[in-house]
A and B are shown apart, each in its own frame.
Chain A
Amino acid sequence: MEREGNSKQKADTIKYIIILAVITAGVLLQITTGQFPYDLIGYPVNLMIAIALIVLASAKPGKILTAAGSLPVSVFLIVLITILTIVMGLMPDNRLKGSWPFALTYFMILINLALIVGRRVRSFRLRDTGFILNHAGLFILLLSAGLGAADSQHLFMKIYEGETSSSAEDYVTGNRVGVPFKLTLEDFGIEYYAPKFFVIDTKSGIVEQLSDDFRQGLNVTCDTLTDAGYEHEAMVRVKGPGVDTSGWVSSGVNMQPGKVLQIDRDRYLSMGEPQTKSFCSSVVLINGNDSVLKNDIRVNHPMRYGSWRIYQFSYDRQMGSHSQYSVLELVRDPWIIPAYIGIFMLLAGAVSLFWKGGRL
């Protein structure tokens, strides 16, 4: 009995030694070859690895695979990735996410998860649903977010109003890349929330903000609002007891004070900088078959086309809403569907975690 216990203990420690050896190899590779070659795992390599992992999960495990998919190994790997991530969190850049040790830990977690899910699915009972949602969901999400993201493209398209473009600049390499559609920017615009107005009383030195509840008997209407050269300007009309005047006020820029409007002998009206409500690029997308899609691209409202999504990214900040161009970000992620499947499985798993609590 004792001897069996001893050899079991030995087998226990071997698992950890193997994991640490893999990490050490990762550190050595990092020193000798630099960052993990992320582009090498793009299609079809990532798909092959994914299939290999699924085959691994469905195979009947022998001694080694049973150990690799065991709970102590899971704990060891979670601790390892946590420590690596803490290092990442303390470093001013996050180069660590592309390093060999991080990538190898990621692969070991994938293998561990695949084996765990495979084992549970083979001996499925209804009460394992939450367990499988959490573990399989995490497996699918990690697979898409790591291996799958190697196929993703991030491009930037700077496009002038009235122009049409079918190429964009790669975020990583800086190369110009063609895209399978043509985009025309019809218009770029910025909308602002109504600006805030202040009344400056030069006699008392008091500055007060006007609001719906506090108007000092004044009625301020704003006719035109422009924002050329960083500065916001508004044509306002102020009416009140003994006051009826109109003129331009502006918010000022940096150290330069804005224009104020004299209301009466002691009081002046000034304007605060209005906050941005939305950035909007009105575009027309023409695909290979000459079918035309019109869309307004705003923050939080990207345009969808196949596996592409087109985002509002930037504009000519000096010109504000008069910007002649817009910068769009074009993102293609062919693994987004499995990523969403993983996320929704995990969301369902999180609800089951809440519902079941500590009663296992």
Chain B
Amino acid sequence: MIWSEFIYFAVISLFFWVSAVAAIYLSKKKTLPNIMFLTGVFVFSLFIARLWLTNGHPPLRTMGETRLWYSLFIVVIGYITWLRWNYKWLMGYSTLVSAVFIIINLLKPEIHSAGLMPALQSPWFVPHVTVYILSYAMMGAATIASIIFIAGNGEKHKDLIGLVDNLVRIGLGFLLMGMLMGALWAKEAWGDYWTWDPKEVWAFITAATYLVYIHLRRITINLKLLMWIIPVAFLLLMIAWLGVSYLPSAVNSIHTY
């Protein structure tokens, strides 16, 4: 069984990724974290490639297999974001989320054989979920920064505005990618790319609220009042992510699980 070898690949990859995060904080140069990180990716991809070859089809048919892709994608996108924007915490975060998926795969090996239901057997499944997880992280960070800004006062926090602007745009980029990939997937699976399913309704509300911030930012002078939009938008994001299942409108949603 190839899955019994997973623990070796997983431990080696995680070792390299955790060391890369440590190196980011400790070393001034980017060379060491780059090497560490890419080695981890190589080792992890090696396992996926082996699984692919042994299966004879892309490993996307069981829950365990999709978690493998999450583990890889989330660190890769976290890494690209770090390269572009230098957010060290994001590398730590994506490594942590990746580790959680890896540990689930190690602790619940019987789930490997549990198959995906037909609707989830799509190449869109993994990227759709991965970009959302990253979007939540960016928006969460933006919310913390906005609350510090609202609570504090004076020139000291001026640079927080720039940070919030940046995080919201990056987060919205991920959020929109998630929605659009979901739309492409829905067209293949259900015949329509948009049906105002409750999850879609709340995702729309969330994205629109962040759009209000981005547009209002260019005309409003009262920054403190404007900053209130960010925590409100995050609350709406939480409803879209976790709360939808509890709403009366969600009875027939395709997203309740």
Looking at chain A, what size class is its interface with the partner chain? 35 or more
B205 lies within 8 A of A71 (CB)? no
Closest chain A residue to B240, Cβ basis: A89
Q: Which of A331, A336, A350 contacts B173 (CB 8 A)?
A: A350
CB distance from A4 to the nearest CB of B (A): 20
Q: With A350-B177, A354-B174 as known contacts, state yes or no: A300 contacts B201, CB within 8 Å.
A: no
Q: Which residues of A contact B183 (CB under 8 A)?
A: 343
Q: With A311-B191, A347-B180 as known contacts, state yes or no: A92 contacts B251, CB within 8 Å.
A: yes
B169 lies within 8 A of A91 (CB)? no
Q: Which residues of A contact B164 (CB under 8 A)?
A: 358
B180 lies within 8 A of A343 (CB)? yes
CB distance from A8 to the nearest CB of B (A): 14
**Which A57-94 residues have a C-beta within 8 angstroms of B?**
71-72, 74-75, 78-79, 81-82, 85-86, 88-94
- A278 interfacial by beta-carbon distance below 8 Å: yes
**Which B132-163 residues have a C-beta within 8 angstroms of A?**
162
A75 lies within 8 A of B216 (CB)? yes
Alpha-carbon distance A89/B206, docked complex (angstroms): 12
B85 lies within 8 A of A78 (CB)? no
B169 lies within 8 A of A72 (CB)? no
Q: Which residues of B contact A329 (CB under 8 A)?
A: 191
Interface string of B183-195 (1 = CB under 8 A from A): 1100111111110
Closest chain A residue to B198, Cβ basis: A89
- A319 interfacial by beta-carbon distance below 8 Å: no
A211 lies within 8 A of B176 (CB)? no
A275 lies within 8 A of B201 (CB)? no
Q: With A193-B114, A357-B170 as known contacts, state yes or no: A300 contacts B193, CB within 8 Å.
A: no
CB distance from A150 to the nearest CB of B (A): 14
B176 lies within 8 A of A72 (CB)? no
Q: With A74-B215, A331-B191, A351-B173 as known contacts, state yes or no: A89 contacts B249, CB within 8 Å.
A: yes
Q: Which of B115, B191, B209, B211 contacts A193 (CB 8 A)?
A: B115
- A2 interfacial by beta-carbon distance below 8 Å: no
Q: With A71-B215, A343-B184, A350-B176 as known contacts, state yes or no: A275 contacts B169, CB within 8 Å.
A: no
B188 lies within 8 A of A357 (CB)? no
- B26 interfacial by beta-carbon distance below 8 Å: no
Interface string of B215-257 (1 = CB under 8 A from A): 1101100000000000000000000000000011101000000
B169 lies within 8 A of A356 (CB)? yes
Q: Which residues of B contact A359 (CB under 8 A)?
A: 166
B204 lies within 8 A of A275 (CB)? no
Interface string of A80-115 (1 = CB under 8 A from B): 011001101111111001000000000000000000
Alpha-carbon distance A82/B204, docked complex (angstroms): 8
Alpha-carbon distance A244/B3, docked complex (angstroms): 29
B249 lies within 8 A of A90 (CB)? yes
Closest chain B residue to A275, Cβ basis: B115
CB distance from A116 to the nearest CB of B (A): 11
Looking at chain B, what size class is its interface with the partner chain? 35 or more
Q: Which residues of B contact A279 (CB under 8 A)?
A: 118
A353 lies within 8 A of B173 (CB)? yes
- A213 interfacial by beta-carbon distance below 8 Å: yes
- A277 interfacial by beta-carbon distance below 8 Å: yes
B205 lies within 8 A of A82 (CB)? yes
**Which B71-116 residues have a C-beta within 8 angstroms of A?**
81, 84-85, 109-110, 113-115
Q: Which residues of A contact B187 (CB under 8 A)?
A: 336
CB distance from B169 to the nearest CB of A (A): 5
Q: Which residues of B contact A97 (CB under 8 A)?
A: 196
Q: Which residues of B contact A86 (CB under 8 A)?
A: 205
Q: Which of B109, B165, B191, B216 contacts A358 (CB 8 A)?
A: B165
CB distance from B29 to the nearest CB of A (A): 24
Q: With A88-B196, A89-B205, A329-B191 as known contacts, state yes or no: A75 contacts B177, CB within 8 Å.
A: no
Q: Which residues of B contact A300 (CB under 8 A)?
A: 118-119, 121-122, 188-189
B110 lies within 8 A of A211 (CB)? yes
Closest chain A residue to B188, Cβ basis: A300
B109 lies within 8 A of A89 (CB)? no
Closest chain A residue to B218, Cβ basis: A71
> Can you report 10 A-B residue pairs in the complex whose CB atoms are below 8 A from each other?
A72-B219, A75-B215, A88-B196, A92-B248, A94-B201, A299-B118, A300-B118, A346-B180, A347-B177, A352-B173
Ranked nearest first, the 8 interchain pairs of A and B with the lowest CB-CB distance are A358-B165, A354-B173, A353-B173, A299-B118, A358-B166, A193-B115, A331-B191, A350-B176
Supply 13 further A-B pairs (C-beta < 8 A) apart from A298-B118, A357-B169, A357-B170. A78-B215, A82-B205, A82-B208, A94-B201, A213-B109, A278-B121, A299-B118, A302-B191, A350-B180, A352-B173, A353-B176, A355-B173, A358-B169
Give B contacts to A, CB under 8 Å.
1, 81, 84-85, 109-110, 113-115, 117-119, 121-122, 162, 164-166, 168-170, 172-174, 176-177, 180-181, 183-184, 187-194, 196, 198, 201-202, 204-205, 208-209, 211-212, 215-216, 218-219, 247-249, 251
Give A contacts to B, CB under 8 Å.
71-72, 74-75, 78-79, 81-82, 85-86, 88-94, 97, 145, 154, 193-194, 209, 211-213, 275-279, 298-302, 309, 311, 329, 331, 333, 336, 339, 343, 346-347, 349-359
